[in-house]
């Protein structure tokens, strides 16, 4: 099964549209989304509608929870709090209900999905230590678990010394961010995975950053949110 994986769109319609175009060109059987459809950007409603229409499986991110459930809003950075309130006002009751109904984690088609971590997904843990990463493998059964949250792509195998994704091992894979990359590369992230061959590829997609940043400024959102798109931080 050929799968496209996306995460952390953050209301960036230009980035999401560009990524979906690449997905369509390559052809996949399913699209998985690791959450944070909303937050930070200016196009919450359009992004929710596109993800709802195009994605086979979607889990809830912390910004989705902050916008739709008013959960942990105070744990977001100040600019994130402003964006969450802005996004909430842009969404219809139906769109908010969709976000509220998203699960925290899933296992589908031989893959586990979570926004931050499969262990205590509601805690929005950042995996900054080897101990935290190692713990995660106890909390999913599938060969592969896809996550997002940090906006920085990466692959970790359960066994030390395994340097590439291949059958016979288990992996925790961060697919990066569609709408707000933070690895000093401003291009959008999309990952492709074949569940039979275990072929994995992270693709960086250029998009109209200027338009996305201009919308943030026009919406009266913090200028810092526009600037970080331009530098990928």
pLDDT digits (tens, 9 = 90+) for 44-92: 999 999 999 999 999 999 999 999 998 889 999 999 999 999 999 999 9
**Beta bridge pairs of residue 112:** 107, 145
pLDDT of residue 128: 83
Domain count, the chain: 1
Is the pLDDT assigned to residue 141 strictly greater than 90?
A: yes
Q: Which of 179, 224, 217, 161 is nearest to 6 (CA)?
A: 179
Is the pLDDT assigned to residue 37 strictly greater than 90?
A: yes
pLDDT of residue 111: 97
pLDDT digits (tens, 9 = 90+) for 172-214: 999 999 999 999 999 999 999 999 999 999 999 999 999 999 9
Domain that holds residue 173: 2-231
Residue 88 neighbours by CB under 8 Å, 6+ apart: 67, 68, 96
Sign of CA dihedral 57, 188, 140, 155: positive
CATH number for 67: 3.60.21.10
Q: How far is CA 24 from CA 29, 112, 173, 193, 220, in A?
A: 10, 23, 22, 15, 33
pTM (2 decimals)?
A: 0.96
């Amino acid at each position: 099964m050929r799968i496209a994986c996306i995460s952390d769109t953050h209301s960036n319609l230009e980035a999401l549209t560009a990524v979906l175009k690449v997905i369509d060109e390559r052809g996949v059987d399913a699209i998985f989304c690791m959450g944070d459809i909303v937050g930070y950007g200016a196009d919450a409603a359009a992004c929710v509608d596109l993800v709802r229409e195009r994605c086979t499986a979607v889990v809830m991110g912390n910004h989705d929870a902050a916008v739709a459930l008013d959960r942990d809003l105070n744990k977001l950075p100040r600019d994130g709090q402003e964006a969450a309130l802005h996004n909430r006002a842009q969404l219809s009751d139906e769109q908010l209900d969709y976000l509220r109904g998203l699960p925290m984690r899933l296992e589908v088609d031989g893959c586990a999905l979570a926004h931050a971590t499969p262990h205590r997904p509601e805690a929005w843990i950042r995996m900054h230590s080897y101990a935290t990463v190692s713990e995660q493998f106890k909390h999913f059964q599938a060969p592969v678990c896809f996550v997002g949250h940090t906006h920085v792509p990466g692959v970790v195998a359960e066994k030390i010394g395994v340097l590439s994704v291949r059958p016979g091992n288990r992996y925790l894979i961060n697919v990066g961010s569609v709408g707000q990359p933070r690895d000093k590369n401003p291009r959008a992230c999309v990952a492709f995975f074949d569940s039979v061959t275990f072929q994995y590829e992270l693709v960086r997609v250029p998009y109209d950053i200027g338009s996305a940043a201009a919308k943030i400024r026009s919406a009266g959102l913090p200028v810092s949110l526009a600037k970080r798109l331009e530098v990928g931080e």
